[in-house]
């Protein structure tokens, strides 16, 4: 049985995620077909681009309801970059847009100006250090190293306990989130060297544990 399903809805970094799974020796499929994805043991929701466009596609294709149903049934889910933001209640990007609502919180744009009135670059693009806050099977054995971010929006969580790790870019940026079988990384683990690959490998381990359990 295929272990991981990478959800293809036309807006994801499919190639880099697929290659990372290959490097980990993890069987996977890339698909937007709900029947195919229903047969896997864990899901990855990648994402690059607009929150509103992504949610429109997910709703129109039925993938939004499918993802919610799979999570309710206990299937592990990992959102990456925009995919992590989609896990939350809503985003202000291009006007208020409802998200998947799997985690409480909203997505807002970096102000681009510090409290002292100094401008800074948006999007946030580059390597920043993680700070771990809570234990999680996604972070077991992972070190607080540097990971690669590319984003103009960040999550303001409704519940602080979902923030497993953060990074700083003028504001405190939730970098790794998780609750129960739902996880997310604001950065790209597949492009983040040893630290990112360790986190992705931990997710594969979570899925494997479910398969063997």
What would the pLDDT profile of 19-43 be if each residue is shown by its tens digit? 999 999 999 999 999 999 999 999 9
Q: Domain coordinates of the chain in residue numbers? A: 4-212
Task: Please check the confidence at residue 158 and state whether its pLDDT lies above 70.
Answer: yes
Place of tokens 């990992």: 78
pLDDT digits (tens, 9 = 90+) for 82-136: 999 999 999 999 889 999 999 999 999 999 999 888 999 999 999 999 999 999 9
Residue 125: its pLDDT value, please? 95
| Share of residues in the chain with pLDDT > 70 (%) | 97
Q: What is the dihedral sign for C-alpha 34, 91, 77, 14?
A: positive
CATH code matching the domain that covers 4-212, chosen among 3.20.20.70, 3.40.190.10, 3.40.50.880, 1.10.3720.10: 3.40.50.880
User: What are the residue numbers of the active site?
Assistant: 81, 188, 190
Burial class (CB in 10 A: 0-12, 13-18, 19+), 94: exposed
pLDDT digits (tens, 9 = 90+) for 183-195: 999 999 999 999 9
pTM, rounded to two decimals: 0.95
């Amino acid at each position: 049985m295929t272990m991981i399903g990478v959800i293809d809805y036309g807006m994801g970094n499919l190639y880099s995620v697929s290659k990372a799974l290959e490097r980990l020796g993890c069987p996977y499929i890339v698909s937007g077909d709900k029947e195919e994805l229903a047969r896997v043991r864990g899901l990855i929701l990648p994402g690059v681009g607009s929150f509103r466009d992504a949610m429109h596609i997910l709703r129109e294709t039925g993938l939004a309801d499918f993802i919610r149903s799979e999570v309710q049934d206990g299937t592990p889910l990992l959102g990456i970059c925009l995919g992590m933001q989609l896990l939350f209640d809503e985003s202000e990007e291009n006007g208020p847009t409802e998200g998947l609502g799997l985690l409480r919180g909203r997505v807002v744009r970096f102000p681009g100006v510090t409290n002292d009135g100094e401008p800074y670059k948006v999007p946030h693009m580059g390597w920043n250090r993680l700070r771990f806050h809570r234990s999680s099977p996604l972070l077991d054995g992972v070190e607080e190293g540097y990971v690669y971010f590319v984003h103009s929006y960040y999550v303001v969580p409704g519940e602080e306990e979902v923030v497993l790790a953060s990074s700083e870019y003028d504001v405190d940026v939730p970098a790794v989130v998780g609750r129960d079988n739902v996880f997310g990384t604001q950065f790209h683990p597949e492009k983040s060297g040893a630290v990112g690959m360790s986190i992705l490998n931990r997710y594969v381990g979570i899925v494997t544990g479910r398969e063997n359990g």
